[in-house]
Structure 1
Amino acid sequence: MCGIIGYAGHRPAVPLLVEGLRRLEYRGYDSAGVAYLQNKGLQVVRAEGKLKNLEHCLTECQHLQATCGLGHTRWATHGLPTTQNAHPHQDEGQNIALVHNGIIENFQELKQSLEAKGHHFASQTDTEVIVHLLADNLGHQNTLPKALAATLHQIEGSYALACIHRDYPNEIWAARHSSPLLLGVGQGENFIASDIPAFLSSTRDVVFLEDGEVVRLTPNSWEVFSAADMQPVGKTPQRIEWDLQAAQKGGFKHFMLKEIMEQPQVIQDGIAGRIDDATQEVVLDEIADLPIPGRLHIIACGTSFHAGLWAKYLIEEWARIPVQVEVASEFRYRQQVFQEGDLALAISQSGETADTLAGMRIARENNLPIVGLCNVVGSSVARESDGTMYTQAGPEISVASTKAMCSQMVALLLLAIAWGRKKGTLSAEAAQQLTGQLQRLPHTLSTELERMRHAAQRLATQFSKARSFFFLGRGLGSPLALEGALKLKEISYIHAEGYAAGEMKHGPIALIDSEFPTFALAPQDSLLPKVGSNLQEVQARGGKIIALTHPGTDIPSDERWEVPQMGSALDSFLFLPALQLFAYEMAVYLGKDVDQPRNLAKSVTVE
């Protein structure tokens, strides 16, 4: 949610800020703005809507001499998505400009106090309170660092913020607490940003900031301090291995399509170095020192939650470990009952999901070991875990997550095999069969994806007038049904519900008619007859059925969509992209904004 980019260097700042914001568009936003220092003056330009509106406003401004500034894309929390509420915000003296991601929980109390002192506010945002408070403290503390420290002690909630001051040319001051913020270290230039792609075209050297840290950056230097006492904190830049090309469309019309089609490579990267060539055993050095849990708590949100539900079936079957899969936003507010031997597994693509991090901290307070499963090296989930499995998916730009879930499923499948082998509940022969299938999977999937896309295009055209959909599955198909419904909702805005197929007759079947189609996941497995019985009930009520199935199955349907059978859990890796492609082609046919669907953000970094 929201995007921050700051630049201090030797090049014109504003074009770099706009380009950085463009690379953060995937996070979701409804307005944008920049602030920059030029000729000892502070200039702020803001616009409602997409970046092109901001760029139009900037054509009327003088900014080519500015070499220091801030940019921001806002996703509305407090106040409507208007120019008035867009960032950066300024103090009344127009000396300070500030951008902020997060939520200030005590902003009303602070606002009332500041209004009593004579401050006047121009927006409905919680962010404007910070800049007024900073200006007020500056009148008492004399220097910007001291005033910023005092401000941070007064605000409560989550924040990643950055500010510039007309009396501190070529300096950016920034801080974070429970919202992502990182530093890009260049040659004669430095960046601050909420995510790596914002500055990846200029540098791959990154400093990850922790909660309660403040950073000062200039063109030629950077320093990190503790917000508690403003004492220096030692930091070492880390090198990011993926480059900007990996975050670009590569000839595809949309990032979402590119990322769906990358899944064979994602699977290959996810197993690289994790299957011993000689023994075919799974080797997970990242978590080798952690105990096998007596009970596992999986904490996740959205698509990651669905990946966790899918993994529950495998871990319980192969490793005989009881698993509770928790929606992080519920986990953090429920009275938990932990037992000795419990372990927490936190799943987050970005590694910055606010509710998931809060759930991890509850687990930490109760002395549970924590395994992190995420895609971003150095993210908060990675830093706060006892052991981290990186999914190796590379940058995922489209708001609708696709290859991230695929990569999570690969890691979770390997985890289930590894624990099953260590416990002796999964035989060596069964494990070798699974790893062999997994190694063959990238080739099989790569040969099928284009054919699957053509099938998705045909079906999307045929069912484009539907206003509601059921997605049904059993066993491993049940979490995938939830994900298929979520994807269709996210990007096509068609109402869809995912159900365990056996639950249909417990109420939802009342909705079935000729205008309410059902998308059924029907693999050739032991549960196929049960799925078939459910679909006969749908047909008896006039419902149309798309059956995603394997060759040779006898299943009620109006439209069959056949994909190759891999066996066992591996079938899920062909069903998943089929569901994603169906949602994608439906959204494209309906003319929707596929990569940036309305009201959504890539990373939910506020509660």
Structure 2
Amino acid sequence: MCGIIACRTDRPATEYLRVGLRRLEYRGYDSVGIAVRTAGGGIARLRTTERIGALDTLLDRWTGPRFDGLGIGHTRWATHGVVSEGNAHPHTDCANQISVVHNGIIVNAVALRARLARAGHKFVTTVDSEVLCHLIEDERRAGDLLQAVQNALASVQGSWALAVLEHATGRIVLAANGSPLLVAHTADGDFAASDIAAIADWVDEYRVLGDGDIVDLTDQDTWRHCGAAIPPPMATRSLWRGGDVELDGYADYMAKEIDEQPEAVARILDELGDGIATGALWNGLGLPPFERLRMLGCGTSLNAGNVLGNLARRLGGVPASATLASEAGGEVADTGQLCLAISQSGETADVLRAMQSSAVGESPVVAITNNVHSTLARRADAVVGCSAGPEIGVAATKTFICQVVTGSALLLSALVATKRLSTPSAMGFVDDLRRLPDQLATAAAVARCVVPTMVDGLLAESGFIFIARGLGLPYAAEGALKLTELTYRWAECYAAGELKHGPLALIGAGTPVIVIENGDPRLAANTAEVQARGARVISIGLPGSAVPVIENHTAPWGPIVATVPLQILARTMALALGHDVDKPRNLAKSVTVE
């Protein structure tokens, strides 16, 4: 869940590393560091456990030799080893001949560390990544850096995206396995990064490393796969530019990305809309018919999966289940099932592992992701992009909405193509989808007027309960997740009918209960149950609610517009508590470790 960047340029490397690391900070912000070659041929290593601004200060105060155009950088989300300057990347070998930045986890690090220590290597950190430095150090004694990296990784188990800087020669060798890494050659120089957003200012096209690839970063890349020389893969045109990931006057990315939701939904429908009611969207994927549906995801993506499962059951009579990706190994594949693997980044380690589990077996897999060049997209049988655009805030906002809309479009098309839904009915649902951008914008305007007045009375509360029924339940779950992520208060979601089976014990005088009102006639009685016990009820939904935002409560994807006030509630409360809404503590956006 870390971010790495490497560059070979004509200008000082720090000019590029500063920008790239700032744009990679969403991947981890426990510490940040760089290793840069100086004009005298030495290597300067600067690290800090503070944010990228602290690294900027270190660079501004630098009084040593001038930096040249060669460097690597890293922003960390800690997995092994406490957060400390000593544990921050880049790491180096015993002889200080190489520097290494790494994203991923070395599963057999303990055994490798013990073996290397017996051979005389001195470890200075508790980080698993450091074993890579010493393994490569041993192999370098035989000569070539590229071969040394290849030989060293042969004994490693786990996942990695890494950049190795050889101090004496200035060579940079890259490798990837189960973690994202891309390379690009531009008029400004040669670059590698975990995310195209980091280098988007300078890049027109890029190439993605596949699992097992090792690359020498030069203008004429030497590219190997599992030890064999191969031609570089086809280049991908970059559609992102640096301006896409700027704040554009917003106070934070979360506010910007909430406001971008109507435009993102409109873009999806422009891309997919014509293929929904005809079945062409589904038919174009070339997949076999299915009798059952299984959604795989984690966190927000699993909530989106539950929305899609509800739609498949309600409209098509398709049995559907949602499987927590991290627990997929305990499931058994159903006959005739189709799997929807849902991941914002397309690099979520638990989802990638789930694709190899007994829950999937030999079933076809469709990836729903915001990155159609990701590992998930490459491994799936088909992929449908969410088209959300860059999302920098760690807590997902527009990617959740886009997953729901994209998945709904896909399933509506599939139901038409398999004769479970008529074309006229599907056309009506497409019309409903096309109304969503305006409805989302209206919901944001209403919520911004109403929600802030509620927050002052909630700041002292230690916990919150979210309830809903039927199609509203996944949205209540998403609202609880957002509040937990951003405010650091516990928030639990319950099916309203389950209150009397235990959760009512949590209700006391003033307990905040957020109710997603979506027209279920039984919900009023459940709301009355908590009110009778002194709860403070905040209803979101239909006219008459505290936050009235829902116009169409019969849509098969449920009360999607309720998502917006739930996001605004979490953000507003978090800001009032003094928290960073873009970078909540202990979290990172691209969860590339299990």
The TM-score, its normalising length taken from structure 2, stands at 0.96
Whether the 8 Å contact between 1:275 and 1:281 is mirrored in structure 2 is no
Instruction: Quote the residue 1:223 is aligned against.
Output: 222
Amino acid at match of 2:126: Q
Instruction: Quote the residue 1:56 is aligned against.
Output: 57
Amino acid at match of 1:378: H
Instruction: Quote the residue 2:391 is aligned against.
Output: 396
Instruction: Quote the residue 1:465 is aligned against.
Output: 460
Aligned length: 591
Instruction: Quote the residue 1:300 is aligned against.
Output: 297
Output one character per residue of 1:116-161: Cα deviation in whole Å (capped at 9) or x when no partner.
Answer: 111111111111111011111112x222112111101011111111
Q: Does 1:536 align with 2:528?
A: yes
Deviation at 1:442, TM superposition (A): 1.2
Distance in 1 (CA, whole Å) between partners of 2:137 and 2:465 is 54
Instruction: Quote the residue 2:241 is aligned against.
Output: 243
Structure-to-structure mapping, 1:75-114, within 5 angstroms: 75-114=77-116
Amino acid at match of 1:595: D
Instruction: Quote the residue 2:27 is aligned against.
Output: 27
Instruction: Quote the residue 2:253 is aligned against.
Output: 255
Alignment RMSD: 1.8
Distance in 1 (CA, whole Å) between partners of 2:550 and 2:363 is 41
Whether the 8 Å contact between 2:197 and 2:240 is mirrored in structure 1 is no
Distance in 2 (CA, whole Å) between partners of 1:77 and 1:481 is 30
Whether the 8 Å contact between 2:487 and 2:574 is mirrored in structure 1 is yes
Q: 2:269 aligns with which of 268, 271, 279?
A: 271
Instruction: Quote the residue 1:555 is aligned against.
Output: none
Whether the 8 Å contact between 2:446 and 2:547 is mirrored in structure 1 is no
Whether the 8 Å contact between 1:14 and 1:64 is mirrored in structure 2 is no
> Comparing 459-468 with 122-131, which one deviates more in the overlay?
459-468
Distance in 2 (CA, whole Å) between partners of 1:321 and 1:404 is 25
Q: 2:493 aligns with which of 495, 498, 510?
A: 498
Distance in 2 (CA, whole Å) between partners of 1:452 and 1:344 is 35
Q: Does 1:344 align with 2:339?
A: yes
Deviation at 1:112, TM superposition (A): 1.1
The 1:19–1:375 alpha-carbon spacing in structure 2 relative to 1, beyond 3 Å, is: same
Instruction: Quote the residue 1:5 is aligned against.
Output: 5
Structure-to-structure mapping, 1:492-531, within 5 angstroms: 492-524=487-519, 527=520, 529-531=521-523
Distance in 2 (CA, whole Å) between partners of 1:587 and 1:284 is 40
Instruction: Quote the residue 1:556 is aligned against.
Output: none
Whether the 8 Å contact between 1:31 and 1:47 is mirrored in structure 2 is yes
User: Equivalent residue of 1:292, what SS?
Assistant: coil
User: Equivalent residue of 1:66, what SS?
Assistant: strand
Q: Does 1:69 align with 2:33?
A: no
Instruction: Quote the residue 2:45 is aligned against.
Output: 44
User: Equivalent residue of 2:522, what SS?
Assistant: helix
Distance in 1 (CA, whole Å) between partners of 2:246 and 2:274 is 33
Instruction: Quote the residue 1:150 is aligned against.
Output: 151
> Comparing 206-215 with 451-460, which one deviates more in the overlay?
451-460
Gaps of 5+ in 2: none
Deviation at 1:472, TM superposition (A): 0.4
Instruction: Quote the residue 1:310 is aligned against.
Output: 307
Whether the 8 Å contact between 1:177 and 1:212 is mirrored in structure 2 is yes
Amino acid at match of 1:291: P
Identity of aligned residues (%): 38
Distance in 2 (CA, whole Å) between partners of 1:364 and 1:466 is 40
User: Equivalent residue of 1:175, what SS?
Assistant: strand
Q: Does 1:563 align with 2:549?
A: yes
Amino acid at match of 1:534: N
Amino acid at match of 1:96: I
Output one character per residue of 1:46-82: Cα deviation in whole Å (capped at 9) or x when no partner.
Answer: 1112122222223224364311110001111111100
Distance in 2 (CA, whole Å) between partners of 1:15 and 1:477 is 48
Distance in 2 (CA, whole Å) between partners of 1:455 and 1:265 is 23
Output one character per residue of 1:439-467: Cα deviation in whole Å (capped at 9) or x when no partner.
Answer: 12212322342222222212222322211
User: Equivalent residue of 2:201, what SS?
Assistant: coil
Distance in 2 (CA, whole Å) between partners of 1:509 and 1:265 is 40
Whether the 8 Å contact between 2:394 and 2:589 is mirrored in structure 1 is yes
Whether the 8 Å contact between 2:291 and 2:337 is mirrored in structure 1 is yes
Instruction: Quote the residue 1:545 is aligned against.
Output: 537
Deviation at 1:414, TM superposition (A): 1.2
Whether the 8 Å contact between 1:32 and 1:73 is mirrored in structure 2 is yes
Distance in 1 (CA, whole Å) between partners of 2:221 and 2:17 is 19
User: Equivalent residue of 2:455, what SS?
Assistant: helix
Instruction: Quote the residue 2:206 is aligned against.
Output: 206
Instruction: Quote the residue 2:232 is aligned against.
Output: 234
Distance in 2 (CA, whole Å) between partners of 1:325 and 1:574 is 22
Output one character per residue of 1:306-359: Cα deviation in whole Å (capped at 9) or x when no partner.
Answer: 00011111011112221121110000x21x432442222100010000010111
Gaps of 5+ in 1: 553-558
The 1:374–1:63 alpha-carbon spacing in structure 2 relative to 1, beyond 3 Å, is: farther
Distance in 1 (CA, whole Å) between partners of 2:230 and 2:415 is 46
Distance in 2 (CA, whole Å) between partners of 1:178 and 1:273 is 30
User: Equivalent residue of 2:6, what SS?
Assistant: strand
The 1:62–1:236 alpha-carbon spacing in structure 2 relative to 1, beyond 3 Å, is: farther
Q: 2:348 aligns with which of 350, 353, 356?
A: 353
The 1:61–1:214 alpha-carbon spacing in structure 2 relative to 1, beyond 3 Å, is: farther
Distance in 2 (CA, whole Å) between partners of 1:369 and 1:83 is 45
Amino acid at match of 1:237: A
Deviation at 1:286, TM superposition (A): 7.6
Output one character per residue of 1:26-60: Cα deviation in whole Å (capped at 9) or x when no partner.
Answer: 12221111001222222211111212222222322
Deviation at 1:592, TM superposition (A): 0.7
Amino acid at match of 2:249: G
Distance in 1 (CA, whole Å) between partners of 2:296 and 2:313 is 16
Whether the 8 Å contact between 1:520 and 1:545 is mirrored in structure 2 is yes
